[in-house]
Every structure is written in C-alpha cells, then in structure tokens.
Amino acid sequence: MADFKGSTIYQIYPKSFYDSNHDGVGDIRGVIEKLDYIQSLGVDLIWSTPFFVSPLNDNGYDVEDYRKIHPLFGTMEDVEELIREAEKRGMGLMLDMVFNHTSTRHEWFQRALAGEKDYMDYYIFRDGGADTPPTNWQSKFGGSAWEYVPSLKKWYLHLFDVTQADLNWENPKVREELKEVIRFWKKKGVKGFRFDVVNLISKPKIFEDDNEGDGRRFYSDGPHVHEYLKELVADTGIGDLITVGEMSFTSLDHCIRYSSPEEKELSMCFNFHHLKVDYRDGNKWALMRPDYRKLKELFETWQTGMEQENGWNAVFWCNHDQPRIVSRFGDEKKYWKESAKMLAACIHMLRGTPYVFQGEELGMTNTGYTDISEYRDVESIHYYHILLNEGKSREEALQILRQRSRDNSRSPMQWDFGTYAGFSEQEPWIKIPENHKKINVAAEEADPDSILHYYRKLISLRKQYAVIREGAIEFLYREQPEIFAYRRLLEGEELVVLNNLTDREVVLPESVSCQNSICLLHNYPEGLCRNTLETLRPYESLVLFKRYS
C-alpha cells in the first residue's frame, strides 16, 4: 500500500503550467522541463488534469479518447518520459479519470447518435416529446441537464455541459471499457488516479422531477456507487496505488465508506463543503463574506468523523475549479504573505493528505479580469449570461465572476518577471494578471521569507514528524470563530496549531506557553516570537511541537 498518509500531492493544470513550444498553451514537455522545480517542493505525487484527446469545451474534462494525448499537449512519448523523469526524482504521476461522462465527440457517443443500440446503452437516453425533458434536473453549468436528439426522438442526460454525456454505469460493458482504460495507464507506470465526480456515476432506477432542488439528491452517492467502485478497484488491481475520488455534494457517511481501507474502494476523498461557506444560501453565484464559524464546524465534523471510522480526507483549499485562497479567505493586499502562509498551515497540519495547486505555493491571487472577453471557462461564460438574464448589470455580473470564476485559478503559472511571466514567449491562451511582476517563482526563490519557502517547510515537516501523518486530532477554542486551532497527538508527541483567521489582533481565551515547545513554524519574522502567547497578531499562525518523555 502506497504511503498516502505521508504524501503531499501537487496539482498541475498543464494548459497553464509551462509552455515549452511557445504556442501560448502549456504542454507536457513544459511539465518535464519544470520537474526539478516540482521536486524542490518536496512533493510525492503530481496530479495532472486531463491531457487526452478532447474538443476542450471543458478544458479536457470532455474526453474523446482516453488513450490518446491531445496534440496541443504533446505525445504519448512525452507522457512516458514524464513518468520516467518524475520517477527518477522520486515522484509519481497521478492521472485524472473522467468516468462519469465522455465528450459527445467520443466514438461511443457518435455511434449512439447513429442509432447503434449497443452504444445507445452506453449512455442515458430517455424518451420524451421535443418540448418536455424527462425530468426537471439542472446541469451543473446551468440550464437543463437533458438534450434532445431529434433523429432518435430521445433525450440524453448531461449533468455538466451539453457536450459531456453521462455514461450508463448500469451497463457492465461500460464498466469493462473503463477498467481497460485504467489497466492501460497502470501498465505505463502511473502511480495514482483521481476520479472526477465519481460519486455521481450511479443514477437512480427511476428518473423523477426534483421539486426541492436541481436533481442532485437523486444521483449523488447513488444506489450502486460503492459496488461499482469496489469492482473497478478489484478488477484493475489499483488498490496499492494512491487513489482519490472527487465527491460532489456528498456526506460524511459515504466518504467514510469510500475511503476506509476495509472497504477496498479509494485511498481518500475530496469534499467541498468547506468551500461553500461563502456561498449565500448555498448559491455559488451569490456573494457573501466567509462564515468562519461554519468553516470551523465543517472541518471539525469531517476531521473527527473520518478519524473515528478510519476514513481519510484529501485536504485542500485550491484546485482548477476554485478561486485562489489568498483572495478568498485571506487578504491579497495588506497581509498577502501572512494570510497566504496562515491558510497553508491550517490545511497542511490537518489529518489527511494535503494538495497544493500550481501557484498556490506562490500566493497567486484571483485574476481580476474586467471584461467578459477575458474569460475562457465554459461555466463562467454560461453563468455571466444567466446573471444578466436575471437582471444583473454587466458590472454586477463581472464582479461576481471576479470572485467566483474557475478562471481565477487557470491563469498561467507565474515563473518570472518577463512579459508573459516566463510561462511562454507568446501571448498565452488566457490573460496573465498584472501582479506577476511581484508574485513569481524567481522573486520568491530569492526571498528567504517567501510563501514558496514556507510551503517547502510545511511539506518537509510532514516527512519529519509522525504526529502530522498519523496523530489524532482535537479542536481547540471551538467557540471562537476567528481562531482556527487544533492539537494533534501521537504517543508522546503533541503538535499545537494556532491560526488567526482575521486581519485583527485576537485575544486567546487562555494564554499559551511556548517555553517547553519547539516553534516549528511561524509566519511572522523571527524577532516577533514570544514565550507566552496572550494574543495572536493579524493572520498570525504558529505550529508548536512538544515531546513528552
């Protein structure tokens, strides 16, 4: 069994990582060229988002061929070289398997469209008149989740974009095809898999209208999902690799089952509850200040709940779908460094496997785009129009996108001070934020106090201290929303993590003595350490370690 508890995983969005052939789009050779940098972070696994043949309507989450590489990103030889070169540096590659749906350009769907019965059974087609979709379910990207095909007089289900048709996992042939994909990549030496929205694969027997919501309660963690996952893992022999399921709208009970070793499903789960604490009434497109009380409650529920039942969390703030954390829960201006470091410590010392999304280790911020023409993401563009139709002004809609768009995380990695931030010599496919002159790898390599060096430290601590990997967790100051604090415990070792989530000084309910502890990490300059803590400074974060004899 791979050591997923001791690992840190670095996520790459290849389109925006490094452009080796200077066509404005990042590529696989770009990742190979930057492997030394990735290794220097101390991470164990590199998760790359999909680079397979695809029309790229959803930037690769719409797969046309699971075994071929999109020429924009490179060749199969490049991927094989990436696997070898990563391995030489002690790292593995984790691939992203989008198995809930395929692109409508996939051969299976094309054959279904041509009326081949066998292939129609690969997808979810339902009868119905041209004006009445089978149910009122909504796509996650807005609009109906059904599309009518006049030639077949049937509707097909697409929980995401209309070009992403949901696969029918009830069909054993579909499950077999997908296992073959896994075997193909496993043979190439891939060390892990991330399964995209994998808790949505098992749809209900009966499709009915949802009078309370958009339909998700019927298909999230569906009737056969655990059975299908067990089968996929057993039949492909990936139980000894590192696997993570992206669980959309899930529950603690299901995530315990997905990730506890006895169940033989996955190593760990992503859930997104903690990233909805700034959604007004659960609506991503309605702005609200983060509710820190809720955030703390969610972490506590998921951390202690998973620990009690031997489950395992993937812990993270950022990915290619989320706005940048320093802009979201920190302060990208006055306390940029302090808040980015504090937020990192919050996550990395938790019980779970931490994920770092490219650029997070630099404190990259939201993009601040001011015109809709600067956006590329299919979801952002759909929702811009939905917001206008709801009566919002252009400026109001853009203001929402500036905070909520997935493009906030998809702007190019900021390598240096150059015109295109050292990402490319060509104008990139998506605009680079102005602040790349200040926030970039070159600048942060040179600054010993940088966010980048802080991340390296955090990642190395996990390797050095068993209490971080294995310790039990206990939450402190539970009644104080502005302080996120916890203790980790393991035979004779104790770690205390204190974080001020606000831009104000906060008083600790009782003073904390640092005298018998080692301060492993502090996000304020050294001279500002003290023997007894009565207060925490704005966004202050400390990690204290004690060994009992």
Closest CA to 244 of 307, 194, 294, 284: 194
Site residues (CB under 6 A) for ligand TEU, limited to 318-347: 320-321
CA angle 314, 44, 464 (to 5 degrees): 85
Catalytic entry in 62, 64, 78, 246: 246
Q: Is 197 in the site for ligand TEU (CB under 6 A)?
A: yes
DSSP code at position 347:
H
Site residues (CB under 6 A) for ligand TEU, limited to 219-258: 246, 248
Q: Is 379 in the site for ligand TEU (CB under 6 A)?
A: yes
Q: Is 377 in the site for ligand TEU (CB under 6 A)?
A: no
Radius of gyration of the chain, Cα coordinates, nearest whole angstrom: 23
Shortest CB 32 distance to ligand TEU, Å = 24
Shortest CB 279 distance to ligand TEU, Å = 10
Q: Is 98 in the site for ligand TEU (CB under 6 A)?
A: yes
- Pairing between strand 45-48 and 9-12? parallel
Catalytic entry in 19, 161, 196, 278: 196
- Is the CB of residue 362 less than 8 Å from the CB of residue 476? no
Q: For residue 354, give the 3-state DSSP assignment.
A: strand
Q: Is 166 in the site for ligand TEU (CB under 6 A)?
A: no
- Is the CB of residue 372 less than 8 Å from the CB of residue 381? yes
Q: Which of 58, 147, 221, 360 binds ligand TEU (CB under 6 A)?
A: 58
Which residue type does 521 have? L
Shortest CB 249 distance to ligand TEU, Å = 8
Tally DSSP H helices, then E strands, for the chain: 17, 24
Q: How far apart are CA 174 and CA 158, in angstroms?
A: 16
Q: For residue 287, give the 3-state DSSP assignment.
A: strand
Q: Is 147 in the site for ligand TEU (CB under 6 A)?
A: no
CA dihedral sign of residues 473, 475, 476, 482:
positive
3 is catalytic: no
Q: Is 160 in the site for ligand TEU (CB under 6 A)?
A: yes
Distant-in-sequence, close-in-space partners of 342: CB < 8 Å, separation ≥ 6 = 330, 499, 500, 501, 523, 539, 540, 541
Shortest CB 67 distance to ligand TEU, Å = 18
Nearer to ligand TEU (CB atom), residue 148 or residue 279: 279
246 is catalytic: yes
Nearer to ligand TEU (CB atom), residue 274 or residue 320: 320
Distant-in-sequence, close-in-space partners of 29: CB < 8 Å, separation ≥ 6 = 20, 21, 74, 78
| Residues contacting ligand TEU: total by CB under 6 A | 13
Distance, CA of 200 to chain centre: 17
Mask of contacts with ligand TEU, 289-318, x by CB under 6 A? Answer: ------------------------------
Shortest CB 246 distance to ligand TEU, Å = 6
Q: How far apart are CA 216 and CA 133, in angstroms?
A: 16
Nearer to ligand TEU (CB atom), residue 279 or residue 475: 279
Q: Which of 52, 61, 185, 219 binds ligand TEU (CB under 6 A)?
A: 61
Q: Which residues are marked as active site? A: 196, 246
Q: Residues interacting with ligand TEU, by CB under 6 A?
A: 58, 61, 98, 140, 160, 196-197, 246, 248, 284, 320-321, 379
